[in-house]
Amino acid sequence: MHFSPNWELIAAVFSVQLLFALAAGALLRRRLKRLEMSMARETAQIEALLALEKMMQLAQPLPPSRGWSASPDLLRELAEATLRRRPQSVLECGAGISTIVLARALQRNGKGHLYSLEHDARFAEQSRQRLAEYGLSDWASIIHAPLVPASVGSRQHRWYDASKLPAGNFDLMVIDGPPTTQGQLSRYPAGPILFGRLNVGALVFLDDARRADEQKVAGLWQREFPEFQQRYVKLDKGLLVLDKMGAK
Ligand SMILES: C[S@@+](CC[C@H](N)C(=O)[O-])C[C@H]1O[C@@H](n2cnc3c(N)ncnc32)[C@H](O)[C@@H]1O
């Protein structure tokens, strides 16, 4: 019996296999590219952390800083700005590792005080304990300020109870709370409630500026506070820096 190969079928099977191989190759290349990008991002964070640890000269390393906390590249920016500008009074929204970094920079300056608003009593206490562990309690006050209704213009928000803050103006402000789990534009009220208490020349740092919600906040602030010059810094989570230029 004579066997004649079905060339059409063989060609079809070969074509399908080739297509699968090409698709798998493309997928693999994409995944490899993503992996390379993520390794480059993580390397940048390790480098930032090494630079930060050197700047801080602490007796013990900083606590782990991925996830909820500010990323090492932002912490380095905060440390550099505090060491360079030597602020007298610093305000923070959302306590954590940034609190340790800011307080330590003030201690190294030998002047200034940090006021850190924290809505969650548990995290407020944890941050106080951390400050004590690092010998920084004299340089920072953790203010437990629960979120209260705040109506700003036509909008309803929940924001820190600002009545808990002492009187006086600030030279540097770090906004890393309340968390977005508290609702949309959760960080917007910082502008209408506290930008008036910043000295001319003050800097404001808004973390997570890569997120759509913070970009909306930036747009609102740009319209409502023209005396602040805005600049975006391409960090891990995105950073918006506002520079208070002068009166409206
Ligand atoms: C973005 S975090 C602030 C992080 C802080 N600036 C830092 O550098 O660590 C905003 C809020 O999340 C809450 N938070 C902090 N750590 C948390 C954790 N591990 N899990 C859940 N919420 C946390 C705290 O109430 C904090 O004010």
In the chain, domain spans: 58-244
Structure tokens at 219: 């747009």
Q: How far apart are CA 131 and CA 113, in angstroms?
A: 13
Is residue 114 in contact with ligand 1, taking CB distance under 6 Å?
no
| Res. 126 pLDDT band, cuts 50 70 90 | very high
Q: Report the nearest-CA residue for atom 4 of ligand 1.
A: 69
Is residue 211 in contact with ligand 1, taking CB distance under 6 Å?
no
Q: How far apart are CA 187 and CA 108, in angstroms?
A: 29
- Reduced to 3 states (helix: H, G, I; strand: E, B; else coil), residue 146 is coil
Residues 6+ apart with CB under 8 A from 220: 185, 188, 191
**Predicted local confidence at residue 65, as pLDDT:** 87
Mean predicted confidence (pLDDT) in 56-73:
92
DSSP state of 198: E
Q: Mind listing the pLDDT tens digit for each residue in 109-122?
A: 999 999 999 999 99
Most distant CA atoms of the chain, gap in Å: 102
Cis omega (within 30 of 0) on the bond before 178? yes
Is residue 97 in contact with ligand 1, taking CB distance under 6 Å?
yes
**Predicted local confidence at residue 247, as pLDDT:** 54
Q: Report the nearest-CA residue for atom 26 of ligand 1.
A: 94
Task: Please state which architecture CATH assigns to domain 58-244.
Answer: 3-Layer(aba) Sandwich (3.40)
Q: How far apart are CA 180 and CA 125, in angstroms?
A: 21
**Predicted local confidence at residue 3, as pLDDT:** 77
Q: Mind listing the pLDDT tens digit for each residue in 132-182?
A: 999 999 999 999 999 999 988 888 899 999 999 999 999 999 999 999 887
| Res. 1 pLDDT band, cuts 50 70 90 | low
DSSP state of 153: T
Mean predicted confidence (pLDDT) in 214-241:
97
Q: Mind listing the pLDDT tens digit for each residue in 229-242?
A: 999 999 999 999 99
Q: How far apart are CA 116 and CA 95, in angstroms?
A: 6
Q: How far apart are CA 36 and CA 29, in angstroms?
A: 10
Span from the CA of 1 to the centroid of ligand 1 (angstroms): 79
Out of 79-93, 99-113, 182-196, pick the least confident. 182-196
What is the average pLDDT score of the chain?
Answer: 94
